Amino acid sequence: MIEFTCEGCGQKLKVPETFAGKKAKCPHCKGTIDIPMVTSPVAGPGDLDVMAAAGPAAPTPPPLARGPAGPGAHGEPATPGGLPFPAGAIDAALNSLRRSISAFFVQAESVAFQIGVYGLLALVPFFLVMALVLGTAKSPSASRQLTDSSALAQVSPFSGRSRFAPRPSMDLSDDSMATAAMMDAMGPSPVTLLVLALVLLVCQYVVSKIRSAAIRVVASSPSRTSSSNILDCVALLLLVGGVALLITGTVAAYHTRAFLPGLLAVGSGVIGAFVCFVMASLALNPQVLNVSIVPGEGAGAEALGLMSFILKLILRTGPFLLAAAVLTALVGFIAAGSQAPTGATSAALAGAAVVSGHILAAATFVYFLCYLAFLFYHLTVDVIQAIFQTAANTRKHP
């Protein structure tokens, strides 16, 4: 066996001597490595092998994918004849994108996590202030204002015209005052906002704990798949979906022809597209999710690896979904405050706060459920494997 160290990531690798002097792909960093001519003793059963990057050991090694356009970007043997157009061009573009975003996820995930947790923390005092404002606004004087303004018109049975008994005349300010008093009376209660502020504090704590636990369990739960073909297809679908969301939001903003609705449409499209692009980056770099490409795996192992990959993908994307919910809440507050009638801004913001609080609580709950689903899946797989292993040992030693 030839033992050497990858210059790109520093991992120790071992390959059979038949691959001496050749080039291969590192199974960890996916970089091109030159296999040296120096030999070493035969590796033990627990040593790391890089045959997945150089092909199966044989007197005449199979050809390797020399360029980024080949299907051997993850270390699989090259397909004879390559891929037809335009599949080959798409594969080359994905491989080029794979190299350019290899370190993108780690930085983006940290930024998204900070936006999510600090956004939740910043919303707590806002909810408390809104509860105080609503508690002050819901006073007997506001109720009397609503009762007086509701007497707009007592229709005369003789003239058919409206007459205003309390006021001899009416202008636009009367409508604004009536609308403001009605929204204050029908808005959420201060107790609801206080409860939601407490819920946001709990959500901030839960998200912080789940994120650290998710990183730990993903790092300690390796998965294997025999090819990157399905992962590349998932990445392509996510990239197309992100572009479609971006275009849809832009078109919707153009048709609204108003600033704030257009801002909400564009913001939703950008946030959705960003989440899709992040998930695509994970599909193009499965080593971030502790998923390795090992050619020769059976159909059952392939299915288990893909299922584990999907659960890891959703679990590690949780901070981005939470950050998207926080940004959506911010845009909703801006839209509600600017479009509220005169004198009813506090009631409009309180209503938007209630909706945003429910959305953020639901996002946190879904994140928690994804973590539990990941644990339950791996527990089920471990139990099934233990049952089959026990049955095999029983047959060997009755």
Please write the tens of the pLDDT for every residue from 194-214.
Answer: 999 999 999 999 999 999 999
Tokens describing residue 132: 């105080």
Q: Please classify residue 76 by burial: count the beta carbons closer than 10 Å to its beta carbon, then call 0-12 exposed, 13-18 middle and 19+ buried.
A: buried
pLDDT at 134: 77
In contact, 282 and 313? CB cutoff 8 Å: yes
SS3 state at 292? strand
Torsion of CA 320, 323, 324, 330, to 10 degrees: -170
> How many CA atoms lie less than 13 Å away from 332 in the CB half-sphere?
20
Q: Is 287 left (phi over 0), alpha (psi -120 to 50) or beta?
A: alpha
In contact, 207 and 117? CB cutoff 8 Å: yes
For the residues 2-14, what does the mean pLDDT come to? 78
Q: What is the mean pLDDT of the chain?
A: 74
* Position 144 pLDDT exceeds 70: no
Taking the CB of residue 328, how many other CB atoms lie within 10 A of it? 19
Chain segment 34-67, per-residue pLDDT in tens: 888 754 443 443 344 444 444 444 444 444 333 3
Long-range contacts of 178-182 (CB under 8 A, 24+ apart): 178/146, 178/149, 178/150, 178/152, 179/341, 179/343, 179/344, 180/341, 180/342, 180/343, 180/344, 180/347, 181/142, 181/145, 181/146, 181/149, 182/146
Closest-CA residue to 108 (of 254, 284, 319, 249): 319
**Three-state DSSP string of 207-229:** HHHHHHHHHHHHHCCCEEECCCH
Burial annotation 217-247 (CB, 10 A radius, 16+ → b, else e): bbeebebbbbbbeebbebbbebbebbeebbe
Question: Which range in 106-115, 125-134, 309-318 is most confidently predicted, on average pLDDT?
Answer: 309-318
In contact, 65 and 45? CB cutoff 8 Å: no
* Position 164 pLDDT exceeds 60: no
User: Which one has a higher pLDDT value, 144 or 384?
Assistant: 384
Element (H, E) at 25: strand 23-25
pLDDT at 23: 80
CA distance 244 to 79: 32
Q: What is the pTM of this model?
A: 0.62
CA distance 118 to 200: 11
CA distance 49 to 32: 16
CA distance 117 to 367: 13
CA distance 266 to 76: 41
* Position 9 pLDDT exceeds 50: yes
In contact, 224 and 381? CB cutoff 8 Å: no
Band of pLDDT at residue 82, cut at 50, 70 and 90 = low
User: Which one has a higher pLDDT value, 271 or 95?
Assistant: 271
First-last CA distance in the chain: 38
pLDDT at 146: 44
- Please state the separation of Cα 71 from the chain's center in Å: 27
Q: From residue 24, how far is each of 53, 122, 257 by CA, in Å?
A: 5, 50, 55
For the residues 140-167, what does the mean pLDDT come to? 43
Residue 11's identity, in one-letter code, is Q
CA distance 247 to 238: 14
SS3 state at 57? coil
pLDDT at 198: 94
CA distance 287 to 310: 13
Q: Which residues pair with 291 in a beta bridge?
A: 223
